Amino acid sequence: MSIHAYASQYRQTAVSSAVLDADPHRLVALMFAGLRERLQLAAACIDAGNVARKGQAITEASTIVGHLDGSLNMEAGGEIAQNLSALYDYVQRRLLDANIHNDTAALHECDGLIGDIQSAWAAIAPGPAETARMAGAGA
């Protein structure tokens, strides 16, 4: 096995461990991080002329956006959830544009929008007592 294969396997194991150990708030944070990573990868692939990998990164980004949108509780989230859903719909359209037109500006725009949401999400992270309560409720 090559060094790249070992590194990839290690990275996948680390991600899997992080997901298994994560509370719901942390899972969403991991999704934001993974989404931004794929947006940046897609832009780099366009710059490098790697169209196949660009398409894969955008598809993965789109899947994550779909999961983020699907995880919204529209009833409990009210206007905030509706606004996030509209934003996720906009990001999906921009990802389609980026894929069709090899548009790095669209990818950078999406990365900025998601970065803003990611920062806001991090700011409302539950404290240790709340994290323990959520973990107990899920068990």
| CA–CA gap between residue 96 and residue 81 (Å, rounded) | 23
pTM given for the model = 0.78
Number of Cβ within a 10 Å radius of residue 73: 8
pLDDT tens, residue order, the chain (139 aa): 666 555 556 555 554 555 455 688 999 999 999 999 999 999 999 999 999 999 999 999 999 999 999 999 999 999 999 999 999 999 999 999 999 999 999 999 999 999 999 999 999 988 765 555 555 554 4
| Tally of domains within the chain | 1
27 in any annotated domain = yes
35 in any annotated domain = yes
Which run of H or E residues covers position 126?
A: none
67 in any annotated domain = yes
28 in any annotated domain = yes
76 in any annotated domain = yes
66 in any annotated domain = yes
56 in any annotated domain = yes
CATH of residue 39's domain is 1.20.120.340
42 in any annotated domain = yes
| CA–CA gap between residue 4 and residue 2 (Å, rounded) | 5
Structural domain that includes position 56: 23-124
Q: What angle do CA 42, 60, 80 make, to 5 degrees?
A: 100
